[in-house]
Amino acid sequence: MEVKEVDFSSIPQLSNRDRTFTLENEKFESFQSYISEFKYFEQVIANREQHQVDRSLLHSVLQDQYSQTKNSEKTSNNLAALKEPNTFTVTTAHQPSLLTGPLYYIFKILSAVNLADRLRIAFPSKQFVPVFVIGGEDHDFEEINHCHLYGKKIEWETAAGGPVGELSTSGLDTVLIQVKEILGDKSLALPILEKLSTQLSSIKTYAEFSFRLTHILFDHLGLVILRMNNKKLKSALIPTIKKEIFEQASHHKVTETQESIKEAIGYDAQAHVRDINFFYLSKNARARIEKEGDNYIVKDLNKKWTLEELTTEIHNNPERFSPNVVMRPIYQETILPNLAYIGGGGEIAYWTERKSQFEHFGLPFPMLIRRTSGMIITPASAKQMNTLGLSLNDSFSDEQALTNLMIQNSEHADYHLTTYKEELKAVFDKIAEQVEQIDKSIVSTTKSEATKAEKSIDYLESKLKKAIKQKEEVNLQRIAKLKKNLFPKGLQERHDNILQYISRYGPQLIDELGPHCDPFDKKMKVFFMQ
């Protein structure tokens, strides 16, 4: 495998905000507790040591969640280490996308593992655990019910409703069969799928299913996976739930920060902030809590409480209160002894709106780090790039730009008629001078005829370009195919599933990618496979 790099500034598929945070992080300095650089971790650790979490609770919940799995020595050691006061986490998170969903699910985790390893070397007296938080309380089923393999969309069909993590595993056996058929009998991913199929009968929820697959892929690297839709963990959040619902400070704090970012850097608000940023969970629904007069209501569930009644409900059933995107970071940092959050551009954008909110809830704000971005290029695609004479940077251009480049570099005769247009203009300028001396009223007619002549040349040029394009049709088809392989509906990491590549290169692919996923290296990693 050969690894090349592309600077973020050369990737038009990334948002301006994403590039600014990564390449000009100092512009966000007032909206972070730390500049996103490794050298500041000594300060991050010192500050985090002043704020303890309930490690016994965290360890107890994780022991329950790992009770049905066989763990590597690394994972077992990391689980045990979380009980110790000198242990810290570096965290990333994602919704339980079907079979891990797009590649960035993998790059997020490898970024966290890489950072934890680097911190262990830099601070040998401390312990550092990479943690992956699996979401699952969201109710947007369409967001997580599919993945893409070789351009084919695999969808999980089941009755949806309520938190996606609590859905039954009904229909997932069919998904696994579909995937096996697409990958084929010689697929190197089959052992992973067989292991998952064998475990399926003992798995009760979709969150557990996602946990098992992620564990299969990353257990050997010591990754600790946490599912936070848990009554014991929510009990630790009770003071925060009450503070948010009854004081409603997040709306003001986050909105004020969003306005400051807009004024200082020019970027619009990322997250939609509500007066109350908790949902209420029932078996088949996740609905908004709203204040109506002196009461609190959930319209969709026909529920209504007084302040005292809602306080009792929070204490008795904290697991029914689900944080939205605004409160989820607060929940996460309440539970974990965390130093850094690693996320994609969109996630980092809404985390930068949170600093004053964290201060309000008395929590240390973690370092924000943009995850590694990556792209995997097969030998066939690499060969196509060489055949077409395209550089790696060229490949990030849109298809029309590549078509124009191909035509410009064509071996066929030059179709440009610019020289003749310039000569024609000079001729008409002289004619206009002579006409003006005889009859000024005809000057406008002369200019009109000059414009017509220029358009005629433009027309001829377009015809010549089309003729060359037809002669280059084979290469243009190659360009279209290359773009489809490398940029399927945008960046590959936002579309393709890791099983597509494990199928060909084996599970060890993850180990080969890992050392290159340093999230502080501000360039996209491009992996040319052999």
Q: What angle do CA 396, 513, 381 make, to 5 degrees?
A: 40
pTM of the predicted structure, to 2 decimals: 0.89
Tokens 């251009």 locate to: 397
Q: Are 275 and 291 a contacting pair, CB within 8 Å?
A: yes
Q: Single out the residue of 342, 378, 459, 355 nearest to residue 94, CA to CA.
A: 342
Q: Where are the domains of the chain?
A: 2-231+325-375+493-518, 238-323, 379-491
SS3 string, 230-250, reads: CHHHHHHCHHHHHHHHHHCHH
DSSP string, 6-56: EEGGG-TTS-HHHHHHHH-GGGGGGGSSS-S-GGGHHHHHHHHTTS---HH
β-sheet bridge partners, residue 93? 133
Residue 462's pLDDT is what?
84
* Count of CB atoms situated within 10 Å of the CB of 429: 12
d(CA 184, CA 193): 12
- Cβ-Cβ contacts under 8 Å for 333 (sequence gap 6 or more): 358, 363, 364, 365, 366
d(CA 68, CA 66): 6
Show pLDDT as tens, one digit a residue, over the chain (530 residues). 999 999 999 999 999 999 999 999 999 999 999 999 999 999 999 999 999 999 999 999 999 999 999 999 999 999 999 999 999 999 999 999 999 999 999 999 999 999 999 999 999 999 999 999 998 898 899 999 999 999 999 999 998 888 999 999 999 999 999 999 999 999 999 999 999 999 999 999 999 999 999 999 999 999 999 999 999 999 999 999 999 999 999 999 999 999 999 999 999 999 999 999 999 998 788 999 999 999 999 998 999 999 999 999 999 999 999 999 999 999 999 999 999 999 999 999 999 999 999 999 999 999 999 999 999 999 999 999 998 889 999 999 998 888 777 767 655 556 566 777 788 888 888 888 888 888 888 878 888 888 888 888 888 878 777 776 666 777 778 888 999 999 999 999 999 999 999 999 999 999 999 999 999 999 999 999 99
d(CA 371, CA 110): 9
Q: Single out the residue of 192, 99, 96 nearest to residue 147, CA to CA.
A: 99
Q: Over the range 120-149, which residues count as b (16 or more CB within 10 Å of their CB) and which as e?
A: eeeeeebbbbbbbbbbbbbbebeebbbbbb
